[in-house]
Amino acid sequence: MISTNVNLKEHNTFGISVNSSRFATFTSVDDLTQVLAKREDSKLLILGGGSNILFTKDFDGLVLKNEIKGFEIIHQDNDIVQIKVGAGEVWHDFVMKCIDLRFAGIENLSLIPGSVGASPMQNIGAYGVEIKDVFVELEAYHINSGKTKIFSKEECQFGYRESVFKREFKDQYIITSVTYELNMSSRVNSSYGAIQHELESNGIKHPTIKDISNAVIKIRSSKLPNPKEIGNAGSFFKNPIVGKDVLSKLQNTFEKVPNYPAPEGKVKLAAGWLIEQAGWKGKTVGNHGVHKNQALVLVNYSDALGDEILTLSTQIINDVTEKFGVTLEREVNII
């Protein structure tokens, strides 16, 4: 059933109050087909958890919320397990279920907001793990033809917070399910410094995947505001990838610039560090601002307009470019 003039405040983690002229949910491919058959709008927006989006105005079109559920083990042996998951499942709930079943590989991605369907779209990652590390394939519905296509890892063309669905196939497909391959062994990735520090502070020398998850949850909770309490979309900016010449130039002034190896001989800089050095961390502008514990996170304290948050992000980008010669890129989708 398609509803009209629906407020989307509860459907985006920034808590921005805008209206969609038409709105519907779907719980299956058949549902989706039926809704699209009644479509009268040229503009279409697919929503999952609404955690990577900033609305700057009302949406004059049809918003479809993906609520396809499902958790199916399609292969399991002594070493690995493959799980097909509905795109409308909550990502963190899926992670917790895997940990309960002792399936290893995504515990470092605990507490990331959003839906399962969004995970390959932007190749979500945290604390040394990315979706591409556990991804097998996904099923996606082609909006114009109504046909379902299976995409392999290679066809998804994963990059840093990127995939083919944010580039060539943007707005052409709706992801309906994702298949992941996890480990049956309890191998853990605790190499990320903050995780190791958290484990050591709790006297854990031989961590389980549950220990890793608990550490990640504690770290994220200490740095990132809960969207249910303060509107936000998590990391607003990508960590910039630059040439080593840019890093060398920065190191002339800032000796201890945080940096990490990146493909093609480049380096990844910490966007949060750059924003903090530019003096934006904790800055409040009216009823919105930059979070006090994590400069990567822009926040809506109460009833801010999306345009106001977008303007703030532009000011930060311009300031960081001027001060450091590095241009930040938004990770959040602007609508």
Query: pLDDT tens digit string along 241-258?
Result: 999 999 988 988 888 888
Which of these, 139, 115, 113, 147, lies nearest to 36 by C-alpha position?
A: 147
Residue 61 has pLDDT above 80, yes or no: yes
Mean of the pLDDT values across residues 62-68?
95
For position 69, what pLDDT does the model report?
97
For position 327, what pLDDT does the model report?
95
For position 213, what pLDDT does the model report?
94
For position 177, what pLDDT does the model report?
97
Residue 42 has pLDDT above 80, yes or no: no
CB neighbour list of residue 314: distance below 8 Å, 6 or more residues apart:
none
For the chain, what is the radius of gyration of the CA atoms? 20
Spatial separation of the C-alpha atoms in residues 237 and 321, rounded to whole Å: 13
> Cα angle vertex 335, ends 54, 332, to 5°?
45
Please say if 331 is a catalytic residue. yes
Please say if 235 is a catalytic residue. yes
Helix axes of 193-201 and 209-223: crossing angle, nearest 10 degrees: 110
Q: Which two tokens stand for residue 264?
A: 């093609």
Paired residues of 59 in beta bridges: 20
- What does the pLDDT look like over 271-329, one tens digit per residue? 999 999 999 999 999 999 999 999 999 999 999 999 999 999 999 999 999 999 999 99
Q: Which two tokens stand for residue 179?
A: 């298949």
- Look-up of token digits 């990315």: 130
Which of these, 16, 57, 47, 52, lies nearest to 233 by C-alpha position?
A: 52
Please say if 3 is a catalytic residue. no
Selecting among 51, 110, 161, 177, the annotated active-site residue is 161
Q: Which two tokens stand for residue 131?
A: 């979706």
For position 179, what pLDDT does the model report?
98
| Percent of the chain surpassing pLDDT 70 | 100
What SS3 class is residue 157? Answer: coil
For position 280, what pLDDT does the model report?
97
Spatial separation of the C-alpha atoms in residues 82 and 103, rounded to whole Å: 10
Spatial separation of the C-alpha atoms in residues 61 and 262, rounded to whole Å: 39
Q: Are 67 and 90 in contact (CB under 8 A)?
A: no
Which of these, 174, 97, 99, 106, lies nearest to 136 by C-alpha position?
A: 106
Label residue 58 by pLDDT band (50, 70, 90).
very high
The string over 289-309, giving b where at least 16 C-beta atoms fall within 10 Å of a residue's C-beta and e elsewhere, is bbbeebbbbbbbbeebbbebb
Spatial separation of the C-alpha atoms in residues 137 and 150, rounded to whole Å: 7
Label residue 116 by pLDDT band (50, 70, 90).
very high
| Distance from the Cα of residue 37 to its chain's centroid | 30
Residue 263 has pLDDT above 90, yes or no: no
Residue 216 has pLDDT above 90, yes or no: yes
Which of these, 12, 216, 233, lies nearest to 111 by C-alpha position?
A: 216
- What does the pLDDT look like over 184-213, one tens digit per residue? 987 888 877 788 888 888 888 888 999 999
For position 269, what pLDDT does the model report?
93
Selecting among 51, 190, 235, 313, the annotated active-site residue is 235
Spatial separation of the C-alpha atoms in residues 141 and 147, rounded to whole Å: 6
Task: Please report the domains of the chain, with CATH numbers, ordered by start residue.
Answer: 3-66 (3.30.43.10), 71-183 (3.30.465.10), 231-334 (3.90.78.10)
Residue 335 has pLDDT above 80, yes or no: yes
- What does the pLDDT look like over 126-158, one tens digit per residue? 888 999 999 999 999 999 999 999 999 999 999
> Cα angle vertex 242, ends 223, 330, to 5°?
50
Torsion of CA 305, 43, 114, 197, to 10 degrees: -70
